[in-house]
Structure 1
Amino acid sequence: MMHASRVRFLATAALCAAAVVSTACSASAAPAPAAFSPPPVKAGFDYQIGGAYAPPSGVRVVSRDHTAQPAAGLYNICYINAFQAQPGAEGEWGDLVLRDANGEVVMDEDWDEALLDLRTADKRQRVAAKVNAWTDGCAAKGYQAIEPDNYDSFTRSRGLLSEQDAQAYIRLLSTHAHEKGLATGQKNTSELAGNRKANGLDFAVAEECGEQDICGEFTAAFGGNVIVIEYADAGLANACDRWGGSLSIVRRDRDVVPAGASGYVRKTC
């Protein structure tokens, strides 16, 4: 007697042979990535992760927090805090918060954010499930890309996280984003830029690479697909002097507050 599963297999094979588009019958094949493109090169850029506002004249690319709506008619990058919990939100992550041997939460002291625990495949999958749901929201709103922040959190983990952990995790995020038709940006972390193709990263968002004089480490891997954000006039001057003819460059205030708010700064080359 032929096993039922074998009957189903033969029936499926017969249907596939008759199909006009044979790839539609590859039930076991992974879904093909949807079409996606990185931001346009050397386009006017505005960094609005601290609050959305009407983009200034000449801006073609905007980055906004995933809770905000994209800017109509522009290329929109969806900002996601993917490697750390928002301040005060560590309780939402349960056992996915990184703890040291004494059970103490490992914090990014500069921003008062708890690091997420990416040390095992299981935890990476569970963290990615939550973050990928935010990516789904970005896609549904009409964003064209995501910007997963704090890729370099392993450097602040007291040796508990490795660059291998970070890369294994970001591949989960980029694969999902591509399936949703969104490009994926590498945030900072120039030391891993050379692995960008293997990690599914399509462009870079480099903070203070002019200040640190390391923009070339990003262009070596990403070419002109680099967005530079500076927070000081000296960094802006250096970035503009060396890269103003080829990269998207903006200077913002460190808190990236909306236009009209106290402390707002925006300058370009």
Structure 2
Amino acid sequence: MYPAVSSIPVSSPRSAAGLLGAAALGAVLVLSGCSSAEDIAPVSATDDTASTGAQAAAVELPPAGAQFDYQLGGAYTPPEGTEIVVRDSTAQPAAGLYSVCYVNGFQTQPGDRDLWLGERADLILREGGQPVIDPSWPSEFILDTSTADKRERIAAIMQDSITACADKGFDAVEIDNLDTFYRFDELLTMDHNIAMSTFYADMAHSAGMAIAQKNTVELEERGRDEVGFDFAIAETCAQWNECGDYVDVYGEHVLAVEYTDAQDRVPFAQVCAASDSPESLILRDRNLVPAGRSGYHYETC
């Protein structure tokens, strides 16, 4: 999650790519209807995952090792030399650059609070009957990915957001908060969120977009091999000594961002010099404010 977010749209005009995504989602929903609605077995390599791999091979990946910018706090003209830009789904892609679209796929957006507490209330994770919130972002509820039925319904809601990214011309999507199973491990499991992510990967690939694994180093190869993630976006991987783990899975296709306010932060020059650091590595202010605003910081190796 990031500061100053705006509501992700839940409806948008359909394009040919979007219709393909909807068709793919429908096929997945029909297949998943044969499984238990309460439990999910560990995802394994099947004909479906092989199909996902074939779709992934057809999408364009970010330029390997290229300079990028993380603009989730607001869009602005990218720094000179930038080839990849990540922006919120409500923004427009960066003209002429590889553009990644941010979608909050495992938590709600602040502006949609009433909607989720209303007709979608049963899709919010609960503990003791009360909605579970992200303590770092108390205006966001955690989505309940624990059953096949709920995953299908969440996917149907998020379909329009992913389609909107494709309609605007984004090249890839980043689905945030994949790690809810880690932060709320008494209520969710890795298998729940892997199954949810597979919906997102199918939709992105069917719309002609690549899809990024956001953080969650615990997935190891499962994110690439079972879900179909094409590349990774890793926050503070140097701080947690995780950069090499992402590189082991995704090679040159890792976009890493460190933050200026990180506790016990290693000097950025030292991070850049580390043998396991991704080539696409930047240092940014925590609030990701646009260039020209107070607090803005952008630095690359």
Residue correspondence of structure 1 range 1-269 to structure 2 within 5 A: 33=55, 35-87=58-110, 89-93=112-116, 94=120, 95-100=122-127, 102-112=128-138, 113-195=140-222, 196-232=224-260, 234=266, 236-243=268-275, 247-269=279-301
Q: CA deviation at 1:88?
A: 5.3
Tell me the TM-score normalised to structure 2 length.
0.75
Q: CA deviation at 1:236?
A: 3.1
SS at match of 1:249: strand
* Relative contact order, higher structure (CA 8 A, sep 6+): 2
Deviations 1:64-121 (A, max 9, x none): 0000000100000001111011235333222211111x21111110122210011111
Q: CA deviation at 1:137?
A: 0.4
Alpha-carbon separation, structure 2, partners of 1:133 and 1:235: 41
Structure having the higher Rg: 1
Q: CA deviation at 1:252?
A: 0.9
Alpha-carbon distance change, 76 to 235 in structure 1, aligned in 2, over 3 angstroms:
farther
Q: CA deviation at 1:247?
A: 1.7
Identity of aligned residues (%): 46
Q: CA deviation at 1:244?
A: 8.3
Tell me the TM-score normalised to structure 1 length.
0.84
Count of residues paired in the alignment: 241
Unaligned segments of structure 1, at least 5 residues: 1-27
Q: CA deviation at 1:218?
A: 0.5
